[in-house]
């Protein structure tokens, strides 16, 4: 078994276990908000922390020398060349309101490049996995299927998903950009979880995704899944996606969305 396959096995089993715990242990009257981060709307619940703790324990027990970057606990250097990039609940606000689109996202990087990614979406009964060079898969109760992204969709016929940050200034600029995008596309979706949006894109349930200001833990596993389904995941003018703009789509659609966004959303923050 290759290193990437081994890492995927651990990522998928851990994401599944954390997802099950998050469903089983979610308090009936909703989780408590225990902290706010970049703004009062940027919340952390006790369940985000519990899930990240479980994931850290499982990964540390199996691979004690690996590095780690988690949304809730930050970074820890390792000595093996492998780093885990984890969002214990991507879509925390959906989880808070008991909306189904939230996910556990776990990626493994080797020398800085994501080589394996697993995303568990428990309330949809879906898991997504990818190994670099090995394609992207969707797993459900009815079986496993290989994913192929929609390609060459003209923007006017493209269903485009996006997301918003939590700080007021960034949100105001994102609303301005949205005003420029909306008249040019079939429609917009704001699902509330970056990695669920990326899985939906890889599965052909949307044609493109963009967002300014996503973090490594939001996009590490989902970005690999989109690429392995045949898509492109980049920032403006070939930059790495991340703190600036992230654009994800199939060939043809990617270039058209990039051309629309570049003048609307030059790097401004």
197 is catalytic: no
Choice among 48, 52, 66, 71 that is catalytic: 71
Minimal CB distance to ligand IPD: which residue?
A: 163
- 8 A C-beta contact, residue 253 and residue 158: yes
Choice among 207, 218, 228, 244 that is catalytic: 218
C-beta of 189: minimal distance to ligand IPD in Å? Answer: 11
Task: Give the one residue of 214, 220, 233, 256 binding ligand IPD; rule: CB under 6 A.
Answer: 214
89 is catalytic: yes
- 8 A C-beta contact, residue 159 and residue 186: yes
C-beta of 38: minimal distance to ligand IPD in Å? Answer: 9
**Residue 211 binding ligand IPD, by CB under 6 A:** yes
Task: Give the one residue of 52, 66, 72, 87 binding ligand IPD; rule: CB under 6 A.
Answer: 87
- 8 A C-beta contact, residue 25 and residue 45: no
Task: Give the one residue of 193, 200, 227, 253 binding ligand IPD; rule: CB under 6 A.
Answer: 193
71 is catalytic: yes
- 8 A C-beta contact, residue 206 and residue 159: yes
In the complex with ligand IPD, which residue's Cβ is closer, 91 or 231?
Answer: 91
Task: Give the one residue of 70, 122, 192, 241 binding ligand IPD; rule: CB under 6 A.
Answer: 192
Backbone region of residue 234 per phi and psi (left: phi > 0; alpha: psi in -120 to 50; beta: other values)? beta
Structure tokens at 215: 């973090």
**Residue 163 binding ligand IPD, by CB under 6 A:** yes
Choice among 14, 45, 92, 162 that is catalytic: 92
218 is catalytic: yes
Three-state SS for the chain is: CCHHHHHHHHHHHHHHHHHHHHHHCCCCCCCCEEEECCCCCCEEEHHHHHHHHHHHHHHHHHCCCCEEEECCCEEECCCCCEEEEEEEEECHHHHHCCCCCCEEEEEEEECCEEEEEEEEEHHHCEEEEEECCCCEEEEECCEEEECCCCCCCCHHHCEEEECCCCCHHHHHHHHHHHHHHHHHCCEEECCCCHHHHHHHHHCCCCCEEEEECCCHHHHHHHHHHHHHCCCEEECHHHCCCCCCEEEEECCCHHHHHHHHHHHHCCCCC
66 is catalytic: no
C-beta of 23: minimal distance to ligand IPD in Å? Answer: 17
- The contact mask relative to ligand IPD for 88-127 (x = CB under 6 A, - = no) is --xxx-----------------------------------
Task: Give the one residue of 194, 216, 247, 257 binding ligand IPD; rule: CB under 6 A.
Answer: 194
**Residue 164 binding ligand IPD, by CB under 6 A:** yes
**Residue 45 binding ligand IPD, by CB under 6 A:** no
- Active-site amino acid positions: 71, 87, 89-90, 92, 218
Could you list the residues that contact ligand IPD (CB under 6 A)? Answer: 71, 87, 90-92, 163-165, 192-194, 211, 214, 218
Return binding residues.
Answer: 71, 87, 89-90, 218
């Amino acid at each position: 078994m290759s290193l990437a396959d081994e890492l995927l096995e651990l990522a998928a089993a851990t994401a599944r276990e954390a997802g099950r715990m998050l469903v089983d242990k979610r308090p009936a009257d909703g989780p408590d908000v225990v902290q706010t981060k970049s703004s009062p709307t940027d919340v952390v619940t006790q369940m985000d922390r519990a899930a990240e703790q479980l994931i850290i324990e499982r990964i540390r027990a199996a691979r004690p020398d690996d590095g780690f970057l988690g949304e809730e606990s930050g970074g820890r250097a390792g000595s093996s060349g492998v780093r885990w990039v984890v969002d214990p609940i991507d879509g925390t606000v959906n989880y808070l309101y008991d909306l189904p689109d939230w996910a556990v996202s776990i990626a493994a990087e080797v020398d800085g490049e994501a080589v394996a990614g697993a995303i568990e979406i428990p309330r949809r009964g879906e898991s997504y996995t990818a190994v670099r060079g090995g394609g992207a898969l969707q797993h459900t109760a009815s079986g496993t299927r290989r994913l192929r992204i929609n390609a060459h969709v003209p923007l006017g016929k493209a269903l485009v998903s996006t997301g918003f940050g939590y700080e007021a200034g960034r949100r105001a600029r994102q609303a301005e950009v949205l005003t420029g995008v909306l008249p040019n596309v079939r429609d917009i979706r704001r699902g509330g979880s970056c990695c669920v949006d990326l899985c939906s894109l890889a599965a052909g349930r949307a044609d493109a995704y963009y967002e300014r200001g996503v973090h490594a833990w939001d996009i590490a596993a989902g970005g690999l899944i989109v690429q392995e389904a045949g898509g492109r995941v980049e920032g403006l003018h070939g930059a790495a996606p991340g703190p600036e703009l992230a654009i994800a789509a199939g060939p043809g659609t990617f270039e058209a969305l990039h051309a629309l966004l570049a003048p609307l959303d030059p790097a401004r923050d």
